Chain A
């Protein structure tokens, strides 16, 4: 029964997510692992934003059947829109089923085409991944949520909502706007956990791990897909393995924090934008903007990355790599997607900042930043690979607009983080080495795309 409830929970994301992705791409997207990964991100956002609107804007009492009414209503609306657009099931090639059927042959043929050295590396990748995935699975099903911010913020809100079935709008209540110390935080992570617990029927601290395992797998799939697009399976496999085995990313796959989901949404936004710069397909453009807008529901630090994004966009417009109207269109889509959470912040006067205090330069924060990337084991040797890649691919980078965009974004976002953690009151989170390192997670994973495409084949147009 528990297994059935968990499956139902994930289907409540995957089905509307798949329909939404078909709608956004007018049926161009097929059913594939990549499409399922996107569906997980889109579906979880759609359902949790719906719950968010229901709980905060209608200020209604939650009941499970009402939650499911919302999900089923959305599925029906999406189906209707798809049929109206004629992007429906008649155009869908069931690639996932076909691939599973053909999978063995494809893998066998690909493996046989490799040199002996590459064969050995691929075998090692598979063996290492399977062993560690087994270990990860044991963490997911045995370790209850107990890390600090999870209890202080994400899971606490879910727990309070589970038992109270509504949000408190009484400023005098300790449970005001969901309770906990950070009532300004976005709501997708708490609502994902709440929706799971509501479907399970009992509050349990272990099963929310599955949500984050889902993001972890979805992230690996989209990393592999985006890398394969402009390199080859071998490079995509190695770099996906790097993401899989970055110790801090792996640890976040079962600990109910928001950094890994944020990395998923930003990675999707970056990847689709890079694809759009290459192929000019509109659906890549819109998907990028939507994923960027959805990142605002995960963590407020998305705003810092957005400033970097904005600067890169302006640079692309000035260099006439993209048109001004596309720039405005993109901003508009991001704004519309993020509108509910922005309205929430406006109505309830919640800021993006979580700490108050003076702005002053803290040089030690820069040392902490360097320590986080070059001394700690959080990212293995990844940031040295980034430096190496920048050095050896410099000529390629300056000759490709996509690579310029990716590297410029990476650089500006790092500068944004350094400024945030060395000048603002948030510097305390760098000095005590708490939020700084994990805030690098979206950038670290984004840089995998940057480095991977820099090493890719010469497919990019200049």
Chain B
């Protein structure tokens, strides 16, 4: 899960933000363990010495410990902000391409979708019914981006065209 770099988004970011490790030790677990120890120590001190307001002290402690990951989080946001400056110079269509390519840096399946669609536009008439054959992730993205120019076919036999998208193959379009 992750390495010590400034975070950037990927397809899995929407599900989970990866944690980092010191060797095999998760950093968050280390910070959390220290927080628990310090908190219980403050609580113990407060029970022995009635003058300490443990609730107030714990709140301050939470805030300080929170800042450790928060700094990493802010750096990530700053990195994204710089990226957004790059986004902002383009129109919506180009922004879509950049974001999808950015998101899929691990498998790099999706980036070619848009050149596939551009190529299909020269060969397949609008409003045709198409059947998409691809891996599930690419199929989802294709279904979204080709609509409403082309409509999904209810079955392969009713499709006017078959879209075979494989990121290892450049383009295959077959008319039935």
Contact = CB atoms under 8 A, between A and B. Distances in A.
Contact of A251 (B13, B39, B95, B140): B13
Interface stretch (A242-250, A307-315, A412-420): A242-250
B60 A151 contact: no
Interface string B19-38: 11000001011011101100
Max chain A CB contacts within 10 Å: which of B33, B81, B88?
B81
Contact of B28 (A117, A139, A374, A435): A374
Contacts of B62: 238, 242, 381, 385, 388
A375 B40 contact: no
Max chain B CB contacts within 10 Å: which of A117, A372, A384, A436?
A384
A378 B35 CA distance: 17
A300 B125 CA distance: 39
B16 A163 contact: no
Contacts of A164: 148
Interface string A420-458: 000000000000011111100000000000000001000
A418 to B, nearest CB: 16
Nearest to A438: B15
A376 B13 CA distance: 11
A381 B147 contact: no
Nearest to B39: A388
Contact of B16 (A136, A378, A381): A378
Interface in A238-267: 238, 242, 245, 247-248, 250-252, 255, 257
Interface stretch (A30-38, A75-83, A172-180): A172-180
Nearest to B149: A163
Interface residues of B, number: 65
Contacts of B103: 146-147
A128 interface: yes
A184 interface: no
Nearest to B14: A147
A172 B152 CA distance: 12
Nearest to A245: B70
A179 B143 CA distance: 10
Interface in A147-176: 147-152, 155-156, 159-160, 163-164, 172-175
B140 A152 contact: yes
Given A143-B84, A174-B152, A174-B153, A381 B96 contact: no
Interface in B104-148: 137, 140-141, 143-144, 147-148
Given A138-B81, A142-B88, A378-B17, A392 B63 contact: no
Given A255-B14, A381-B31, A392 B59 contact: no
Interface in A83-131: 117, 121, 128, 131
A173 B15 contact: no
A138 B17 CA distance: 20
B17 A251 contact: yes
Counting chain A residues whose Cβ lies within 8 A of the other chain, the interface size class is: 35 or more
Interface string B50-89: 0000110011101101101110111011101100110110
Given A135-B77, A375-B26, A385-B35, A148 B16 contact: no
A81 B95 CA distance: 47
A372 B35 CA distance: 18
Contacts of A384: 31-33, 35-36
A151 B81 CA distance: 23
A234 B14 CA distance: 31
Contacts of B17: 247-248, 251, 376-378
A418 B43 CA distance: 31
A392 B77 CA distance: 34
A384 B125 CA distance: 57
Nearest to A257: B14
B74 A132 contact: yes
Interface of B: 1, 7, 9, 11-20, 26, 28-29, 31-33, 35-36, 39-40, 43, 54-55, 58-60, 62-63, 65-66, 68-70, 72-74, 76-78, 80-81, 84-85, 87-88, 92, 95-96, 99-100, 103, 137, 140-141, 143-144, 147-148, 151-154
29 contacts: A131-B74, A132-B74, A135-B77, A135-B81, A139-B80, A142-B84, A143-B84, A143-B99, A144-B95, A148-B14, A148-B137, A155-B144, A174-B151, A174-B153, A205-B92, A234-B59, A245-B66, A247-B17, A247-B69, A250-B77, A375-B19, A375-B28, A377-B72, A377-B73, A384-B32, A388-B35, A388-B39, A391-B39, A433-B12
Q: Which 9 A-B pairs have the closest CB atoms?
A: A384-B32, A135-B77, A163-B148, A437-B16, A174-B152, A151-B144, A138-B84, A142-B87, A375-B26
